[in-house]
Structure 1
Amino acid sequence: MPAPRAGDEPELLAAAQAGDARAAHRLGKLYAQHGERAAAKHWWERAAAGGNVDSAYNLGIWHEKHGSLEEAVTWYEAAASTGDAEAATNLATLLLEQRGDPEAARKWFEIAAAAGSRAAARRLALMCEESGELGTAREWHRRAAADGDVASAHDLGFLAYCAGDDAETLHWWECAARGGHAESAYCLGLFLDATRDPEGAEAYYRLAAKSEHPGAASRLGGVALSRGDLRTARGWFEQAAAAGRACDQRMAGFVCVELGDTAAASHWFGRAAASGDPEAAYNYGLLLIAEFGDFAGGRHFFRQAAQAGHHEAAVELGGLLSAAGEHGEAQIWLSDPPPPAWARPAEPELTARAELAAAAIARGGGVPPSVADMVEVLSTWDVVTRPLHDHSDVVAWLVARSGVHLSAVEHLASVRGTLLRPGSAPWPGQGELQHVLTTARDLRRRLGVR
């Protein structure tokens, strides 16, 4: 319907007063453009009474903003019952979000999706996911993705990943990444890292980094660091650090130390320490003492790190306190320091699997376990089984060598398998992961692995 033009008022008014529904609708639009809401409502009601669907839809919007929920539902329903997809989508959204009636909302979302609404297809997919109807959810996501919805393509990639379908995972994350979805490009990079394709992973990290994805910048920083390119690594880590990521602020600090820029290193270690990162606090303490002779500041940050369970910080703090004659507190830290943390560098495929698992758990509404804890579980298994040439009965071999109970080692193996082969079992929760992490640390202690 053509938009009203300036100067049309007399002509439209005459036609509308004579019962022309189209003219009444256009007159309502003209009044709405001038900010005369009451007059717009009046003429849209006249037009809707004459069968104008657009006016019924506009009245739904009018009442949603200025009137009552019940009136908005009535008018949206009047427009939606004629097959108007937008009205059906708005109606379903009101029924779901304002009335809390998912059953009625689903009915109208289905009508809207059948009429071609991409937004309705996506909402249906998400509703089906929440109710556990994953097959139906995939169908609605496919409809939305086929119509260009990159968020649904991204979600299809995750559903496929969680089901262990590698081909579908690649297909949908590639579709979303090509459509400009930075998170999909990053996830595809992780997936390729997890399947040992570092060149392909790097290409997708670069694609995600163009949209300033901090995780991609962090990964690219690691790639540059592995090549000995400290200046490039610094640029990537600082980009990720600027997004508030404490782990990347710490890494930026390390690289700046290597480059001899102690002022920048102090800045990044300080920011990470302020976020509660114990490793950064420890290194900030070292930097303050070594470069600036600030023993009071060093002691402050050693204490912060030690209280968070950092072994080396506790030992350094004990040494400083002893030198200052504060032997009582020094003895507390030196006699019973926190146990050393697991500090072995992890393989990229293991950190990638852990990140994908955390993202999948969070996307499903759960609270993901720590990525670092998942990496420790995966890395521990790799390290303690490295001497074994025949892995056909690795569990029995570990039990015989370590003395750890069979059921604990089997549980550790099961959780490891789930992280490496998604779809083989449900994702582990925080409690379960802490349980197997205890087993992993017990294995390392008994086998003398540090």
Structure 2
Amino acid sequence: MSLAVVLAQVVRARGDRAEAARLYRLAAEAGEAAASNDLGVMAAEDGDLTAAEAHYRRAVDAGVGPATHNLAVLVWERGDPEQAESLFRRAADAGSALSMNELGVLLSDRGAHDEAEVQFRRAAGLDNPQAANNLGRLIEERAPQEAEQLYRTALRHHSAEARYNLAELLARQGRHPESEKLHRQGAAAGDPLAMNCLGLLHAGRGDYAGAARWYERAIAGGNINSLYNFGLVRGKQGRAAEEELYRRAIEAGQPNALNALAVVLDERGAKEEAERLYRDAITAGITDGLCNLAMLLQEDGRIDEATRFYRRAVEAGDAKAMNNLGLLSFDQGDPDAAETLFRSGLAAGNESAAVNLLLLLTGRLNPDTPE
């Protein structure tokens, strides 16, 4: 390593980026190829991806291993996964655990899970904590015990993501005290995901004030799901602030808030905006909006359209929609269809469907408004 590179590292650490870049350029011009990689890193940090790519390619051509990985990341983020995969493979074959892990992520994203597992295992074997965490996520469903050990391995390297994944795995296994302990450790370390989970825990216990405190901290940390969850808590507390929170969540891109705000507006009588939000929620994939929109349409007398949305909700497994469409079918003179729907609703756990099925079978059913 030349004196120019050593000095560049020192002044860069002190925050003098212009001088560091000048020294790296001197080193690169003097034939020190690794300095071109450093220039690429600095250019990327400054947002000049064209210059970064040029520097990386010069370093790659000169055989600088880290530059191959850095170039792969750049072209992947630019939207060229095929070139990125080729570069990641090249760097991985040269022994880069970072590239093995990123190659695993790329392969997993496109559904090549078996090959992704191979790459994650290679990287995890080289003590890469990200790979251990990613491997855990990949195999968790079929091998929860191994996934747990992988998360714990990554956690020993202070992986916040592994701590969160381990806590959630333990919660799904009913090991709630240890799960909560991990989330509290995460929250203490500033993890907004953990704060949101603690909010959910407190809300589940009926401690809405405690939940609100955690949601407020998570929101301050940038967790958009907490905006939606905080809105739910405010609604349970009878606080008007829920509407503002749902609107903020929508602006931040939280799709469940579309349906939640629509429900608030629907109950308040703002039907036109509620309908628009239900439709937006459905477009965003929120299936709860199907039944809610159908109820609004039925109330407005648009029976044919309401029926279509009820059917879509039934296909999505909505037990409430099964009951409501059963009532609608009975009202339209089709008791057989009503019975089928009530039985489906009963099997899905809807109490109203159970009651209506009994009334239908005993000849005492009178159609009513949806529940």
Which whole-Å CA distance do the structure 2 matches of 1:439 and 1:24 have between them?
72
Deviations 1:241-273 (A, max 9, x none): 66444541332214534xxxxxx4531244326
Matched, 1:268 2:274: yes
Which whole-Å CA distance do the structure 1 matches of 2:24 and 2:168 have between them?
53
Matched, 1:189 2:199: yes
Deviations 1:370-397 (A, max 9, x none): xxxxxxxxxxxxxxxxxxxxxxxxxxxx
Given the alignment, which residue of 88, 109, 119 partners 2:123? 109
The secondary structure found in structure 1 opposite 2:22 is coil
Which whole-Å CA distance do the structure 2 matches of 1:241 and 1:9 have between them?
47
The aligned amino acid for 1:437 is: G
The secondary structure found in structure 2 opposite 1:204 is helix
**1:57 aligned residue:** 66
Which whole-Å CA distance do the structure 1 matches of 2:304 and 2:39 have between them?
69
Which whole-Å CA distance do the structure 2 matches of 1:312 and 1:97 have between them?
39
The aligned amino acid for 1:304 is: E
Matched, 1:252 2:264: yes
Deviations 1:294-322 (A, max 9, x none): xxxx333x54335527788999x9xxxxx
Given the alignment, which residue of 128, 153, 156 partners 2:166? 156
Question: Contact conserved, 2:294 with 2:307, CA < 8 A, in 1?
Answer: no
Deviations 1:26-45 (A, max 9, x none): 25655896849678655655
Question: Contact conserved, 1:89 with 1:119, CA < 8 A, in 2?
Answer: yes
Which whole-Å CA distance do the structure 2 matches of 1:280 and 1:126 have between them?
36
TM-score, length of structure 1 as denominator length: 0.51
Question: Contact conserved, 2:37 with 2:66, CA < 8 A, in 1?
Answer: no
Greater length-normalized contact order (CA 8 Å, ≥ 6 residues apart) = 1
Given the alignment, which residue of 144, 148, 165 partners 1:138? 148
The aligned amino acid for 1:163 is: Q
Q: CA deviation at 1:185?
A: 3.4
Sort the Cα spacing of 1:150 and 1:250 in 2 relative to 1 into closer, same or farther, 3 A: same
Higher alpha-carbon Rg:
1
Residue correspondence of structure 1 range 161-180 to structure 2 within 5 A: 161-180=171-190
Question: Contact conserved, 1:73 with 1:91, CA < 8 A, in 2?
Answer: yes
Which whole-Å CA distance do the structure 1 matches of 2:72 and 2:209 have between them?
55
Deviations 1:9-67 (A, max 9, x none): 666545x3xxxxxx232256558968496786556554x4xxxxxx2221344478496
Question: Contact conserved, 2:56 with 2:70, CA < 8 A, in 1?
Answer: no
Which whole-Å CA distance do the structure 2 matches of 1:29 and 1:60 have between them?
13
Which whole-Å CA distance do the structure 1 matches of 2:27 and 2:191 have between them?
49
Q: How many residues align?
A: 302
Matched, 1:220 2:221: no
Which whole-Å CA distance do the structure 2 matches of 1:332 and 1:93 have between them?
52
The aligned amino acid for 1:73 is: R
The secondary structure found in structure 2 opposite 1:6 is helix
**1:365 aligned residue:** none
Residue correspondence of structure 1 range 307-322 to structure 2 within 5 A: 308=310
Given the alignment, which residue of 299, 302, 319 partners 2:301? 299
TM-score, length of structure 2 as denominator length: 0.60
Unmatched segments (≥5 aa) in structure 2: 9-19, 44-49, 283-288, 312-320, 363-370
Matched, 1:78 2:94: yes
Q: CA RMSD in A?
A: 4.8
The aligned amino acid for 2:306 is: A
Residue correspondence of structure 1 range 360-371 to structure 2 within 5 A: none
Q: CA deviation at 1:159?
A: 0.9
Q: CA deviation at 1:238?
A: 4.6
Which whole-Å CA distance do the structure 1 matches of 2:117 and 2:197 have between them?
34
Deviations 1:332-389 (A, max 9, x none): 845458869xxxxxxxxxxxxxxxxxxxxxxxxxxxxxxxxxxxxxxxxxxxxxxxxx
Unmatched segments (≥5 aa) in structure 1: 17-22, 49-54, 258-263, 287-297, 318-330, 341-430
Q: CA deviation at 1:109?
A: 1.6
Q: CA deviation at 1:184?
A: 3.8
Q: CA deviation at 1:123?
A: 1.5
Q: CA deviation at 1:223?
A: 2.1
Question: Contact conserved, 1:25 with 1:44, CA < 8 A, in 2?
Answer: no
